[in-house]
């Protein structure tokens, strides 16, 4: 039975946690990748937490030697150490990622033995192969709200061909009934394509094979 790679958290005593290494892309850019010989080994972009002037300078010593791990280069979404959620490699960019911030839950340290540890949770990141569910859909979605009331909607195409994926605002209302967006007008912006517009009913986009898209919605 075929399976997918799944990013998860485990105790750092688990030998399966010792599978990460650094991969240099150029002088200024590095990745942290799973070392196993997989067809598409999961990789995260490595970045030291940026220091700001003022009150955030007090974190300089506290987070010395730690890293932010980004879902993609140039996109400010960092890996959170949340033991409640497992995330397949096809879903990098959403789910267990949120906007990068000064939070111990997002600070990671890569040890010489290949373990990637989050000191806040005391857990290490690992990658497993999980079995596909028989008859499962080849499309996935993820939704969340931001601090300013915006809605994040992601589509993941697991098919081997380009697929049109859609979502009705009525269905989004069922997820967030307190937002009362039924009949509302929503501005949308797709992060990677730059596509923007306004809709009152449907969000739809053609997603490349094994690809994903991420919408930011602001509804009035």
Our measurement of the distance from residue 16's CA atom to the centroid of its chain's CA atoms, rounded to an integer in Å, reads 21
pLDDT, one tens digit per residue, over 11-41 is: 888 888 898 998 888 767 889 988 766 666 6
On whether both 161 and 116 belong to a single domain, the answer is no
On whether both 96 and 161 belong to a single domain, the answer is no
User: What pLDDT was estimated at residue 49?
Assistant: 59
pLDDT, one tens digit per residue, over 86-136 is: 555 444 433 467 777 778 888 899 999 999 998 788 888 888 765 544 444
The residue range of the domain holding 195 is: 139-219
User: What pLDDT was estimated at residue 125?
Assistant: 87
Q: What is the total count of domains within the chain?
A: 2
Kind of pairing between the strands at 30-34 and 20-24: antiparallel
46: nearest Cα among 63, 25, 60, 62? 25
Average pLDDT on 63-74 reads 75
On whether both 193 and 85 belong to a single domain, the answer is no
Answering whether pTM is above 0.75, one says no
pLDDT-derived band at 42, boundaries 50, 70, 90: confident
Q: Which two tokens stand for residue 178?
A: 């307190």
Contact 152, 143 (CB under 8 A): yes
């Amino acid at each position: 039975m075929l399976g997918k790679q799944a990013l998860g958290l485990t105790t750092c005593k688990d030998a399966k946690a010792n599978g990460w290494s650094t991969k240099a892309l150029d002088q200024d850019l590095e990745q942290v990748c799973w070392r196993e010989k997989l067809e598409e080994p999961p990789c995260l972009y490595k970045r030291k937490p940026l220091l700001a002037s003022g009150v955030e300078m007090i974190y300089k010593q506290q987070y010395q030697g730690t890293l932010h791990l980004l879902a993609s280069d140039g996109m400010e979404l960092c890996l959170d150490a949340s033991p409640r959620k497992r995330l397949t490699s096809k879903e990098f960019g959403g789910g267990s990622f949120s906007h990068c911030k000064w939070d111990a839950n997002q600070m990671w340290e890569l040890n010489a033995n290949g373990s990637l540890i989050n000191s806040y949770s005391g857990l290490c990141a690992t990658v497993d192969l999980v079995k596909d569910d028989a008859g499962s859909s080849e499309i996935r979605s993820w939704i969340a709200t931001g601090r300013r009331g915006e809605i994040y909607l992601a589509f993941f195409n697991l098919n081997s061909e380009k697929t049109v994926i859609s979502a009705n605002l009525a269905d989004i209302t069922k997820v967030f009934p307190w937002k009362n967006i039924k009949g509302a007008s929503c501005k949308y912006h797709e992060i990677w394509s730059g596509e923007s517009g306004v809709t009152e009913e449907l969000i739809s986009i053609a997603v490349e094979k094994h690809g994903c898209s991420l919408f930011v919605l602001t509804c009035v």
